[in-house]
Structure 1
Amino acid sequence: MIDLAAKAGTDIDTAKTYLQALEKAGHIEVVQENHGHTDKRWNLLRDNGLEAPRLTRDGKPVIQGRAREAMWRTMRIVRDFTFHELAALASSTEVTVAPTTAKDYLKHLLNAGYLIVINKGNSKGNGHKASRFRFNPARNTGPRPPMIQRTKAVYDPNLGQVVWQEEPDHDC
């Protein structure tokens, strides 16, 4: 385990916790254990591909961020959409995307240049009509969805950088 932690660039406790979660989730099994030592050998039972499994300590999949992943995947496939349509299309039996969640995510992605407005909506009167968007193919940076940080900045994990953040208000 010490070798694994060193190769992963993490401490032994973090490596141990993650390996226990992988074992509980059925991704790995112990095939050799030297009692009294931290020297174990594992066998991979389930290959998750390029992305490492995101698991809780008890081996359950992490569900945080799944709505964003579903919306990102859907936007890259669907030609154009409103926030209502995106919420409906991205929802599944495992993930429910609320329209308000889709609306907020689209607002941030629009600011960061990931979307093109093809029909501006209106919010006045009884004829409320939502804006229609199209995914900007020039901003198709990869499979991982951009994240909205607490500071409301947009971070793209595919690029490893903040791609948009609100200008500070210096008029205070």
Structure 2
Amino acid sequence: MRRRVDTMQKEGMTNPRQTIWDAIRELAGEDLAKHFTVTDVVDRTGLHRKTTSDYFACLVAAEYLAQTQDTPPRFILRKDGGVHAPRLRRDGTAVTQGAGTLNMWRSMRVLAQFTYRDIALHSTTPTVSVTDETAKSFCAMLLATGFLRVIQKADPVKGRLAVYRLIRNDGPKPPQIQRVKQVFDPNTGKVYQRGAV
């Protein structure tokens, strides 16, 4: 039975690209030497053929997969980027939108306590830049909505920054700060208002 993407996400299932990536990694085997087809992945995942073949095209363009000249084409996993499905555009370039927020959230989940500068430092990578201002704003909003607790207050006279601890760690997806200045937690589906802690 095929499932629509929005139905899958409402039911708490992973996104289709993650499902496809998981199947590819399983089919490739530990040594990454096994060949597989789009049909193999469709049969394993129950996803639409077009969804699967579109993501395969992205993975080929980004050189994660190599395609044989067979009919039907067979594929081999050339590089395993890890557990998380590569976020790619059709031309194979990496999607970076939202990567800064995701990196900040991951840093908060790993660090026992932190300042906004720690978050900016730990979240910046060669492909993603997180400024102090961005990290400061993210921390302030998460503090106002009850995701963070102040461990040590800031002291501007001594040049000391506030130290925070994450207290609402609901899952791997980062909270989404919305335009109306509230925070949506995609892990639980709840919305948190400022000051409603």
- The normalised TM-score by structure 2 is 0.62
Letter in 2 for 1:16: S
Q: Distance in 2 between matches of 1:107 and 1:152?
A: 11
What corresponds to 1:94 in structure 2? 127
Question: Aligned to 1:30, which of 57, 61, 67?
Answer: 67
Q: Is the 8 A contact 1:30 1:41 kept in 2?
A: yes
Partner residue, 1:135: 166
Question: Letter of the aligned partner of 1:89 in structure 2?
Answer: H
- 1:14-51 residue CA offsets vs partner (Å, 9 max, x unmatched): 433321110011111223543xxxx4332222233332
Residue 146 (structure 1) aligned with residue 184 (structure 2): no
Q: Which amino acid is 2:125 matched to?
A: S
Amino acid in the other structure paired with 2:149 = I
CA distance in 2, matches of 1:99, 1:153: 21
Work out whether 1:113 is the aligned partner of 2:146: yes
Larger mean CA deviation between 103-112 and 19-28 belongs to 103-112
| Residues 1:27 and 1:84: Cα distance change in structure 2 (over 3 Å) | same
What is the CA–CA distance in structure 1 between the aligned matches of 2:103 and 2:174, rounded to whole Å?
9
- CA offset at residue 98 of structure 1? 1.0
| From 11, 17, 20, the counterpart of 2:54 | 17
**Alpha-carbon distance, 1:58 to partner:** 0.9
Please give the alpha-carbon distance, in whole angstroms, between the structure 2 residues aligned to 1:121 and 1:11: 54
**In 1, Cα distance between equivalents of 2:169 and 2:193:** 22
**Which residue in 2 is equivalent to 1:170?**
none
Counterpart secondary structure, 1:70: helix
Identity across matched positions, percent: 35
Aligned in 2, Cα 1:48/1:101: closer, same or farther, shift over 3 Å? same
Change (3 A) 1:79 1:58: same
Structure 2, unmatched stretches of 5+, are 1-37
Name the amino acid aligned to 2:105.
W
CA distance in structure 2 between the aligned counterparts of 1:164 and 1:131, rounded to whole angstroms = 25
Task: State the TM-score, normalizing by the size of structure 1.
Answer: 0.69
Q: Which residue of 1 aligns with 2:103?
A: 70
Distance (Å, rounded) in 2 between the aligned partners of 1:127 and 1:104: 22
**Number of residue equivalences:** 156
Q: Where is the strand percentage greater, Structure 1 or Structure 2?
A: 1
Equivalent residue of 2:150, what SS?
A: strand
Q: Tell me, which stretches of 5 or more residues in structure 1 are unaligned?
A: 168-172
Structure with greater proportional helix content: 2
User: What is the Cα deviation at residue 60 of structure 1?
Assistant: 1.2
Q: Does the CA contact (< 8 Å) of 2:183 and 2:193 recur in 1? A: no
How far apart, CA to CA, are the structure 2 residues paired with 1:43 and 1:89?
34
CA RMSD in angstroms, aligned pairs only: 3.2
How far has the Cα of 1:57 moved from its partner? Answer: 1.1
Match of 1:45 among 78, 83, 93: 78
